Structure 1
């Protein structure tokens, strides 16, 4: 699945100039806020039903839960059909966007005949529907986009982390292997011990064991904590935060793109901004005219008052 599509393409048709009547109606429906809210409610309800199915005491309600599952399937199929029809004579454009492909795969996978023979795999596919909530939340889309963009940086971080853990694992095997074989008996045990140590929960016990061998072992654990737990994890956080900022900037840039219609009123937001700017200019002109008239009236009032004072003095 590719990264989140551009805002004008987030699972919504690109609104061509002319559409058949049915396609135009489906397009307006797919872009409407009530439609999205309804789908979100159904997805959440589907998650609740999946959770209820895990309770063995609700076996008696199995028929009702199965009926709800069939209802959810029908709603999701209708949703995908509406989004497909909204593309008019070019339904293939629906599959040009990653989120649309993901939605289509998750909804249609439930109808694969061989899937029903494996209840565990079938449940995984049904649980995957909950991921569809991401497409309806701009904040979640930004996070997913940031994680997607951070993969190259995370890959480099993982390579560095593996090398660091391997070096410290070999050093731990050489230092503690004969004394504490359960933690450092081989490279696998050493890596597992050091991986658990990333949480710092076992650090006091390991330091106590090391001090029983030599005070110099404290240098081993202190350097490991500083390099891996602090330095490497902070690098990972920095990579993700940087990707988050890039995704947010991209989101803001795409919102300024021509044709983007966030409010779903059929008028691109660029046109809305132009109309709003014109109205503000008109309002400024009216205010300037009122200020000019008030200033004239005030000046006239001061002039009359000055003349009346002069007359009274005479």
Structure 2
């Protein structure tokens, strides 16, 4: 009985190892990426051919492929390891939502979930996952920049409302919130000169200093601050990966040294005999 139990445990362990190697294999990941792309193409096709029966059948097949992938990962990685990765948790939510809402009258929710399935491309591609992880890690640092941005926008919105509300129609500088929206237009460089700046400067000549200073501070300086913070976290991610690689090489080197010493010891003992 004990031998049968040990044999069963060994078979289960080997099966789990095989499944883990399968889900971590490069070709398995590439296959899932291809299915996600196919899913996106089907959704795009449905925008032209609504209610196409073939696309609906293919969509159901893709959902069940994702279910099988999720089950394989749960078996191969284990429940604890699977859910310890937030991207796996996101995948689980999307797949579970697809199953729950597929046979319900909530068509709009189902369509939203089907579109969200495209986001699964992010964890499937390491380069995308690295960028998103760096963005998430940089959020605490970006909150300070966000506060500075709100302060600068508020100051310039108050100035604009005070001095320019009678020059342009109400929707530009008629109130605080309309001024904020106008400043968003200015900072994106969308028709800001011809539609906003020049009409104001024609009536109030000194207004050029208002717009130029806002563009320099609001667009160039703050944007560069955001880019600098994100790039710093991207480089930190590279440093972490590099450190892990160095630690792994150091561990392997130490193991190799121990193996060589053991072989040397055995050879010396053999020569003595």
Q: Is TM-score (shorter-chain normalized) higher than 0.5?
A: yes
Q: Distance in 2 between matches of 1:84 and 1:117?
A: 30
In structure 2, the residue matched to 1:247 is: 237
1:151–1:40 distance in 2 versus 1, CA, 3 Å: same
1:19–1:252 distance in 2 versus 1, CA, 3 Å: farther
Contact 1:115 1:122 in 2 (8 A): no
In structure 2, the residue matched to 1:69 is: 59
In structure 1, the residue matched to 2:212 is: 222
In structure 2, the residue matched to 1:33 is: 26
Contact 2:102 2:110 in 1 (8 A): no
Unaligned residue ranges in structure 1 (runs of 5+): 1-16, 259-267, 279-314
Contact 1:197 1:203 in 2 (8 A): yes
TM-score, with length taken from structure 1: 0.71
Unaligned residue ranges in structure 2 (runs of 5+): 1-9, 260-273
Larger radius of gyration: 1
1:98–1:254 distance in 2 versus 1, CA, 3 Å: farther
Q: Distance in 2 between matches of 1:27 and 1:182?
A: 59
Which structure's residues are more often helix, by fraction?
Answer: 2
In structure 2, the residue matched to 1:169 is: 157
Which stretch has the larger CA shift, 158-167 or 208-217? 208-217
* Superposed displacement of residue 257, structure 1: 5.3
Q: Distance in 2 between matches of 1:250 and 1:163?
A: 35
Q: What does residue range 182-197 of structure 1 map to in structure 2 within 5 Å?
A: 182-197=171-186
* Superposed displacement of residue 255, structure 1: 4.0
* Superposed displacement of residue 251, structure 1: 2.8
Contact 1:142 1:251 in 2 (8 A): no
In structure 1, the residue matched to 2:113 is: 125
* Superposed displacement of residue 269, structure 1: 11
In structure 1, the residue matched to 2:224 is: 234
* Superposed displacement of residue 19, structure 1: 6.0
In structure 2, the residue matched to 1:262 is: none
1:82 aligns with 2:72: yes
Contact 2:157 2:183 in 1 (8 A): yes
Q: Distance in 2 between matches of 1:54 and 1:269?
A: 55
The SS at the match of 1:178 is coil
Contact 1:183 1:189 in 2 (8 A): yes
The CA deviation string for residues 50-85 of structure 1, in whole angstroms up to 9 with x for no partner, is: 1111113x64xx221111111111111111111111
TM-score, with length taken from structure 2: 0.81
1:201 paired residue among 170, 178, 190: 190
1:217–1:120 distance in 2 versus 1, CA, 3 Å: same
